[in-house]
Chains A and B, each alone.
Chain A
Amino acid sequence: MPSLGRFIRIAVGACAMLLLILAAPAPVSAQQINPTASSVNERQLLQEMDRIQGRVSIPDQRSSVLIQPAGREWREFRNVALRWVGGIAILGMLAVLVIFYLTRGMIRLESGRSGRTIIRFNFFERFVHWMTATCFVILAISGLNITFGRPLLLPLIGLEAFSEWSEWAKFAHNYLSFPFTIGVVLIFLMWIGGNIPNKVDVEWIKRGGGLFGHDHPPARRFNAGQKGIYWIVVIGGGLVAATGYQLMFPFYLTGIEGMQIAQIVHSVVAVLFVAAMLAHIYIGTIGMEGAFEAMGSGEVDVNWAREHHSLWLDEQVNDSQARPRHAASAAE
């Protein structure tokens, strides 16, 4: 006689079997779900953001950027845009200077030399100027080498020699940035007094700075053109220094996009800076008679000062006339 217990066991077993049979199709339907439907998708991520970033288990957190297509835009800038901007700015400025020299020639001292001189820049000012200038020339050549060396110089001297030269140029560029920056800071501090734009500059600019014809608009110690150069050095120098140090100490302050922007700002400002300095070098040397002496010996001819910096000369003369009287009264 079958016991009740056995019947219950069979019933429970049958129920369990039934449940298993019913439950079996459930995993099959689960397999129909596409696991990538909710997963991250490259195309979608790139549409949402300009790059794909995740988590890495290694200490170098820069490597958490998986894909940054912006690198291709930076490449276009470096290889195409920058070469056009730099080429047009520098060759354009050279062309303008050559044309100006051929038409106008050296701007002569119209009243001739008086033989008497007046101190324009003291030793410290000249030292700072030439320290900055020397650094600038080397920085400019080594910097232009990075942008224009590969298409222009490399085919002439070959891979090995060009690599060797570029490595030394890079070291020079990095280390001379320090005296250059100090020079820019000193220039900013020591000449700021004479370089605030004022009404005299408006008149000077209206009369074209005397570049055309035989005009000599009045000017104090620095005319509007020199003030322009001063602010180009201070602002341009400040920008190239700030972005340059960022490039020298990569990833201390920013990520990859910041480094690309730093390089773009650094290079664009630098090529414009070079173009501006070509004009500065021109007018300070072969462009104007008597101008180089200001930074050479530091003393300019009184007639040069009268023609180009009449208001400054008046101030200096008044000062020197006032001083002995003052000294005499102090001695009394």
Chain B
Amino acid sequence: MARMKFLCDADRCIECNACVTACKNEHEVPWGINRRRVVTINDGKPGERSVSMACMHCTDAPCAAVCPVNCFYTTADGVVLHSKDLCIGCGYCFYACPFGAPQYPKVGNFGSRGKMDKCTYCAGGPEADGSKEEYEKYGANRLAEGKLPLCAEMCSTKSLLAGDGEIIAQIYKERVLKRGYGSGAWGWKTAYRETIES
């Protein structure tokens, strides 16, 4: 079985935000929710880098560990998904998540933030693959159709890579070898407790 991961090659990211737009469109994500975002570090200064970040689908995911109602599960592909039927909207996963992935449809309002929403790696939720219920709650299930996440698929500079961890790590290593530099696989150490030596 594959172990699905994301890898953002920050030396290629041009902060076009197409991944953000593609995600919002593909899953018809409501206003105010951003499953993916692009963060620019040292903006406007020499050496600035942009990193596209969503749920990293961590190994031993912190969100799953702290959830009071145990609504998270990990698929055979290593994708971290959750059940909106079980979620009580307590917000604890956001405090534990190192990447700020969990999103809530409502802010505040006496703590009723609504069901948590996050990147599904385009893999839907616990409902039947490709069903109407699944689409309404979690968006499209591209993985079940044999396709990879749309954000990475349509990345204009092929900065954002999605796929089996070993394969995308190999692609990144080859890039680094060929061009002679690489600022590293952002978030890998925190999410997977490993990094790509370059």
Interface residues of A (CB under 8 A from B): 34-43, 45, 52-60, 62-69, 71-72, 74-75, 78-79, 145-147, 149-150, 154, 159-160, 162-163, 166-167, 170-171, 174-175, 247-252, 256, 259-260, 263
Contact = CB atoms under 8 A, between A and B. Distances in A.
Contact of A69 (B89, B112, B190): B190
Contacts of B182: 36
6 contacts: A34-B180, A37-B181, A40-B183, A60-B34, A72-B190, A248-B110
A52 B112 contact: no
Contact of A71 (B15, B85, B95): B95
Interface of B is mostly: loop
A75 B96 contact: yes
A235 B41 CA distance: 42
A111 B48 CA distance: 82
B95 A63 contact: no
A71 B183 contact: no
B186 A63 contact: no
A175 B110 contact: yes
Interface of B: 10-11, 15, 17, 20, 32, 34, 37-43, 46-51, 53, 62, 65-71, 85-92, 94-100, 107-108, 110-113, 180-184, 186-187, 189-190
B32 A60 contact: yes
Given A38-B47, A39-B183, A75-B66, A251 B41 contact: no
Contacts of B87: 163
Contacts of B53: 66
A78 B66 contact: yes
B41 A45 contact: yes
B189 A42 contact: yes
A32 to B, nearest CB: 9
A150 B70 contact: yes
Contact of B34 (A63, A167, A251): A63
B92 to A, nearest CB: 7
Given A56-B37, A166-B68, A171 B112 contact: yes
Contacts of A145: 68
A174 B111 contact: yes
A252 B108 contact: yes
A72 B98 contact: yes
A290 B172 CA distance: 77
B111 A170 contact: yes
A36 B181 contact: yes
A163 B88 contact: yes
Given A78-B96, A146-B90, A259-B95, A54 B42 contact: yes
Given A58-B34, A159-B86, A175-B110, A40 B42 contact: yes
Nearest to B48: A40
B102 to A, nearest CB: 11
A154 B70 contact: yes
Contact of A79 (B32, B47, B66, B110): B66
A238 to B, nearest CB: 19
Closest CB pairs A-B (n = 4) = A39-B47, A54-B41, A54-B39, A163-B86
Contacts of A160: 85-86
Contact of A54 (B43, B62, B180, B189): B43
A175 B91 CA distance: 17
A66 B38 CA distance: 9
Contacts of A56: 37-40
A55 B98 contact: no
A263 B49 CA distance: 33
A55 B45 CA distance: 12
B41 A66 contact: yes
Contact of A67 (B42, B46, B98): B98
A58 B20 contact: yes
A140 B67 CA distance: 19
Contacts of A41: 183-184
Contacts of B90: 146, 170
A155 to B, nearest CB: 10
B109 to A, nearest CB: 9
Contacts of B68: 145-147, 149-150, 166
Given A79-B66, A260-B95, 10 more contacts: A38-B46, A42-B187, A54-B41, A55-B40, A56-B38, A63-B34, A74-B95, A146-B68, A159-B86, A160-B85
B66 to A, nearest CB: 5
Contacts of B10: 39
Nearest to A38: B47
B43 A55 contact: yes
Nearest to B180: A34
A254 to B, nearest CB: 12
Given A54-B43, A55-B39, A163-B88, A79 B11 contact: no
A310 to B, nearest CB: 48
Given A42-B184, A250-B91, A58 B37 contact: yes
